[in-house]
Amino acid sequence: TRGDRFEFSTRTGLIEHDLGGIVLALTRVPDHDLAVAAVWNSDTEQGSVVVWDLVESAERGRFDLPVGAQPWKLSFGASAAELYIADAHAPRIFQTLLFIDTPSDSSFTEIETDAPIVAMAYAQDAPDPDLLDAQAELGDTGDIYDTPGIERDYHHLCATPAGLNRVDVNDLDAGAWL
């Protein structure tokens, strides 16, 4: 009848968590029930990396990047302690030693690039211990990684600089762009 009111509500099952800014990237930590989020606070112009506990649905901690650095691409290296963070506006990548239990203790160095990075990935090729053991059991004394012309046992970061139509490869062991 006239004047009656109806209210409807729905539950989507989604729970929103405030991480203190805009989440620009999110990825799972290898071999852990954790995620890392690249967060940008436009009011303070502060970029942070938040470690999120997926089981507890709670922030485990965070660390801040230099003022003005805007994290937006994330890539893990050989372990959960090795995190690479591309800056959205500056030509650099932060090579981070990530402490997942106490993220505020994390540290980083900067890798300079020719332009801001639009995509990146970690690549490695190291001897497989199981394959080496199987080779030894067969009495094979040759090195399975002695294929001429093929470099083995490397740790590289591949990055695509904005507007340059190429992929750059950084030798992380040598600390230099190839």
What tens digit of pLDDT does each residue of 111-151 get?
A: 999 999 999 999 988 666 665 566 566 665 555 555 555 55
Portion of the chain with pLDDT greater than 70, in percent: 85
What CA–CA distance (Å, rounded) separates 63 from 14? Answer: 26
- Which is higher by pLDDT, 48 or 146? 48
Would you state the pLDDT for residue 9? 81
* Nearest residue to 42 (alpha-carbon basis) of 66, 65, 68, 18: 68
String of b and e for 119-157 (b: at least 16 CB within 10 Å)? ebebeeeeeeeeeeeebeeeeeeeeeeeeeeeeeeebbb
Would you state the pLDDT for residue 128? 61
Phi-psi region of 150 (alpha: psi -120 to 50; beta: other; left: phi over 0): beta
Instruction: Enter the tokens of residue 137.
Output: 């059991």
Q: H/E element holding 134?
A: helix 129-137
Would you state the pLDDT for residue 32? 95
Would you state the pLDDT for residue 109? 96
Instruction: Enter the tokens of residue 64.
Output: 């801040």
| Average pLDDT of the segment spanning 11-35 | 92
* Nearest residue to 50 (alpha-carbon basis) of 41, 61, 42: 61
For residue 42, the 8-state DSSP code is T
Q: How confident is the model at residue 21 (pLDDT cuts 50, 70, 90)?
A: very high
**12 has pLDDT over 60:** yes
Would you state the pLDDT for residue 131? 59
Would you state the pLDDT for residue 110? 97
Q: How confident is the model at residue 154 (pLDDT cuts 50, 70, 90)?
A: confident
Would you state the pLDDT for residue 1? 84
pTM (predicted TM-score): 0.80
